[in-house]
Amino acid sequence: MPNKNEELMLTIGRAIAKYRQASGLTQAQLAEILDMSNDAVSRMERGKTVPTILRLIELSEIFHCEVADLVTDSSNRSMDQARQLVRLLQDLENNERNELLNIVEKIVIFSKQRQEYN
């Protein structure tokens, strides 16, 4: 089982891979932009190496996200998950956001009722 440092490295790596793919970049293209080897990008994405804070800032600028998004993307903390929801919601139309909020509200009500029953 990975320790906290290994978990963080894996989280950052998964986030880099996700944002790279969402940006339509290959590992080779990202490596060229960052002036590093393909293997170095691959090691970061696999959580084998951790980028410096300066590299994280550079990645956040490339991916148009916050540095925190690269570090907390897979976090179980409610505030980190709320930040991720905000990013996802901003691309939806107003009526789509409202529909989604109604669904979430129903899930929360159902969950509370289930807890009261048990």
User: pLDDT value at position 34?
Assistant: 96
Mean pLDDT of the chain: 88
Q: What is the mean pLDDT of residues 57-66?
A: 92
Instruction: Identify how many contiguous H helices and E strands the chain contains and give both numbers.
Output: 7, 0
Q: What is the mean pLDDT of residues 34-58?
A: 95
Q: For domain 1-75, which CATH number applies: 1.10.10.10, 3.90.440.10, 3.30.450.20, 1.10.260.40?
A: 1.10.260.40
pLDDT(1) > 70: no
- Under 8 Å between Cβ of 71 and 56: yes
- Under 8 Å between Cβ of 31 and 37: yes
Measured distance CA(116)–CA(17) in Å, rounded: 41
Residue ranges of domains in the chain: 1-75, 77-118
HEC per residue, 37-83 = CHHHHHHHHCCCCCCCHHHHHHHHHHHCCCHHHHHHCCCCCHHHHHH
What residues have CB less than 8 Å from 41, skipping those under 6 apart? 16, 20, 27, 30, 31, 34
